[in-house]
Structure 1
Amino acid sequence: MLTRSEMSRYIDSTLLRPDATAEEIRRLCEEAARYRFFAVCVNPGRLELAARCLEAEEVKLCTVVGFPLGANATVIKVKEAETAMEAGATELDAVMNIGLFKDGNYRAVEEEVQGLARLVHDRGGILKIIIETGYLNPEEIRLATRLVAAGGADFVKTCTGFGPRGVAGDDIIYIRSSAPPSLKIKASGGIESYQQALGLIELGADRIGTSHARSIISELMEI
């Protein structure tokens, strides 16, 4: 059992819907500050607004890169990451090139992660790589995890929320079995309840990405 304040520090409160309004972004940031969520995650075009809303807060600012397909050219992803950090993001969730991975072009996948990690780390940020587990079998999840680790990312993240399914407990088990201790796990995709979030944490998730952060926290009474 985690207290409300303990659970809050696991949560990246997320709003990545393409139709999200400015008012919804402001409300997301206000809730994150009130509940002391670890971060908010918004689309790149909303970074400047979110940065203004969180200017005096401890909440981290996160955005996505190559989202949601991961199919952009590496040079585009790197430029997108650079622009996002200039706009105030300190954590980037970048989608792995799933097509290259399925081709067996593992060197290209690893080199892309390396390029992103170099840029993000040079600017003092955190890089999470989304491997979109819904497209991968268990051995592919393990292999993708090893490539993400070799590329120097800080986290492997399960899902975009726009793929064929959300996170499953087995995803965390497969990732944890292949991840070095230095590589953290962000579970995301369809996490809607406290019990679901807690179960993923107990399996080894270090961060929870969810668009249901307030409802998850509302299930808990502060202890």
Structure 2
Amino acid sequence: MNKYFDHTLLKAFATQRDIEKLCNEALQMNTASVCVNPKWISFCKEKLKTSDVKVCTVIGFPLGADGLDIKSSACKQALENGADEIDYVIDIGAALMHDWKQIRKEMLIMTEICHNEHKCVKVIFENCYLNKNEIKELSLIARDIQPDYIKTSTGFGTNGAKLDDVLLMKKSAGDKVKIKAAGGIHTWKECKEFIEAGASRIGASATINILNEYKMEE
């Protein structure tokens, strides 16, 4: 169960001590990754070098409005700095304008950058700003391009992960694209529901509490 989790700290006020604590917790729990802002990639890489806990970072976060040139450049830099996984936020405005050509271009380029380096890429939709048809269309694009994951939320929007969104994303994207649920997941009960709905990765800052509840239930 521990490998379902990206143990996450993306707050603006995170200090080195906070990030070190995050890494130590991830080592203790043996999570899939730590998810941190790009500044901390090298630091986390060094802290986690004796483990198989990966370093995940975010691009275009949390607004998705950096533009493709900046996102792609930041992605390349993050990979050079040692990032194992990239979570990038789509151009949300383009999705609301139904500019699917731009969304497809962005997803293709970001996926190619990561896959050319044999690294994992996760595409953050930020579903709280989208309707069901838009979530479906994004998932269908992902089905064609095949990033490793599509992700519900940044955790910084108006809402986090929702079960019906995960079900829709899973149904639309098919079996070759995995689902990451993130944002507002604080308990094992919530986590279990998302896993049963089709999520195979969970982004959470409450990882310790969730796993403790899981162990108590077991």
Please tell me the TM-score bracket, short chain as reference: over 0.9
Structure 2 CA distance, aligned partners of 1:75 and 1:152? 21
Could you tell me which amino acid in structure 2 is paired with residue 62 of structure 1? C
Percent identity over paired residues:
37
Q: TM-score, normalized by length of structure 2?
A: 0.97
Aligned to 2:138: 144
Structure 1 CA distance, aligned partners of 2:163 and 2:212? 23
Are 1:122 and 2:122 matched, yes or no? no
After TM superposition, the runs of 4+ consecutive aligned structure 1 residues lying more than 2 A away are 148-152, 220-223
Q: Is the 8 A contact 2:140 2:173 kept in 1?
A: yes
Q: Is the 8 A contact 1:113 1:152 kept in 2?
A: no
Are 1:77 and 2:62 matched, yes or no? no
Aligned to 1:67: 61
Superposition map of 1:15-164 within 5 A:
15-164=9-158
Q: Select the structure with the greater relative contact order (CA < 8 A; seq sep ≥ 6).
A: 1
Q: CA deviation at 1:26?
A: 0.6
Q: CA deviation at 1:148?
A: 2.3
Any unmatched runs of 5+ in structure 2? none
Q: CA deviation at 1:220?
A: 3.1
Q: CA deviation at 1:138?
A: 1.3
Aligned to 1:187: 181
Which string of whole-angstrom CA distances, capped at 9 and with x for unpartnered residues, describes residues 116-155 of structure 1? 1111001110110000011111111111111223233111
Q: TM-score, normalized by length of structure 1?
A: 0.95
DSSP-derived class of the 1:220 partner: helix
Could you tell me which amino acid in structure 1 is paired with residue 112 of structure 2? R
Structure 1 CA distance, aligned partners of 2:115 and 2:210? 31
Any unmatched runs of 5+ in structure 1? 1-6
**RMSD between aligned residues:** 1.1
Q: Is the 8 A contact 1:110 1:150 kept in 2?
A: no
